[in-house]
Amino acid sequence: MILSKKMITQLLEPIHAFLHCRTPEAWIAEARKPDNLTLLLTDHLVCELKAAQTATWLIRKYVADKPSSERIHGWLKPWEDFIYREHHDSDFLHANRHLSKGVIARRPLPWADDLVEKMMLLIKEELHHFYQVWEIMQARGIPYQKMTASRYAKGLLREVTTHEPDTLVDKLICGAYIEARSCERFACLAPHLDDELARFYVSLLRSEARHYQDYLALAAQVSPTDIAPRVRQIGEAEARLISEPDSELRFHSGLPAWSAQQIP
């Protein structure tokens, strides 16, 4: 389904209200340069896998019993072989069919079923997006090459509390901000890309917008207290990561340091 401008605006309104800052114009100016397309597509590819890994880890850590956890551990192996061990013949296209919702909880938790349902859908969608990005890269003759990760995710995780259930709540809130920022950046980039890429990034907006809402809903369900203060604190940290100078351009990087140095 092609989203109209009105539908895109409606999707982005809650995203913009949730995020504490917009993407800096300097990042957009740098990211839209044709010379940076290979870098951004490659980083986007890896980000899709990392999103699926996070969701898989949440199921294994907080819900699945040992047999389920061991089975789940193998779900992402074809994609991880491709990215981390550079097994470029990995058949991750067909591996998606083996993902199953048959996860047995090791103990009764009121939010376990919701976490599994939402994270399973997220895993399948992120891995599908992974393959879509890889198809685009192949069609354009862009080989996969390893690159360093941005400081963004690690910076967010520094905000995570070290005792439960606050640790889980904070990780879910971090997931919400990552998904919301991804959605906002897809929308920022789309008008500056060729027609194929623009349509692709617009097509991702709906799922990314739902992912951030799912993460927030789970955080509110798990937490015994109001999550608003933690949402605000983590959101402020996320905004700093986006607004402060960054030495490398990545999909979730901050203000390009070389651009910041040119500001009088």
Q: What CATH number is given to the structural domain containing 128?
A: 1.20.1260.10
* Choice among 77-81, 110-114, 219-223, 239-243 with the minimum mean pLDDT: 77-81
Is 60 exceeded by the pLDDT of residue 207?
A: yes
Q: Please check whether residue 7 is in contact with residue 175, taking contact to mean a CB–CB distance below 8 angstroms.
A: no
Q: How many domains is the chain built from?
A: 1
Pick from 125, 126, 136: nearest CA to 42 = 136
CA atoms of 145 and 132, how far apart (whole Å): 17
- Percentage of the chain modeled with pLDDT above 70: 90
Is 70 exceeded by the pLDDT of residue 18?
A: yes
Q: Please check whether residue 235 is in contact with residue 19, taking contact to mean a CB–CB distance below 8 angstroms.
A: yes
Q: Please check whether residue 49 is in contact with residue 81, taking contact to mean a CB–CB distance below 8 angstroms.
A: no
Domain ranges, residue 109: 5-260
The DSSP call for residue 64 is: B
Average confidence (pLDDT) over 176-201: 95
Q: What is the mean pLDDT of the chain?
A: 90
pLDDT at 263: 44
**Which amino acid would we find at residue 139?**
A
Is 60 exceeded by the pLDDT of residue 81?
A: yes
pLDDT band at 5 (very low <50, low <70, confident <90, very high): confident
**Which amino acid would we find at residue 127?**
L
pLDDT at 3: 75
| pLDDT tens-digit readout, 130-144 | 999 999 999 999 999
pLDDT at 264: 41
Partners of 245 in the beta sheet?
255
* Choice among 73-77, 117-121, 220-224 with the minimum mean pLDDT: 73-77
CA atoms of 196 and 190, how far apart (whole Å): 10
| pLDDT tens-digit readout, 217-242 | 999 999 999 999 999 999 999 999 99
pLDDT band at 206 (very low <50, low <70, confident <90, very high): confident
CA atoms of 35 and 55, how far apart (whole Å): 32
Q: Please check whether residue 90 is in contact with residue 49, taking contact to mean a CB–CB distance below 8 angstroms.
A: no
Pick from 38, 79, 20: nearest CA to 238 = 20
CA atoms of 67 and 105, how far apart (whole Å): 10
pLDDT at 70: 84
Prediction pTM value: 0.92
| pLDDT tens-digit readout, 19-70 | 999 999 999 999 999 999 999 999 999 999 999 999 999 999 999 888 888 8
Length of the chain, please? 264
pLDDT at 2: 66
Task: Kindly state the tokens that stand for 47.
Answer: 């980000």
The C-alpha R_g of the chain, in whole angstroms, comes to 18
Average confidence (pLDDT) over 87-97: 58
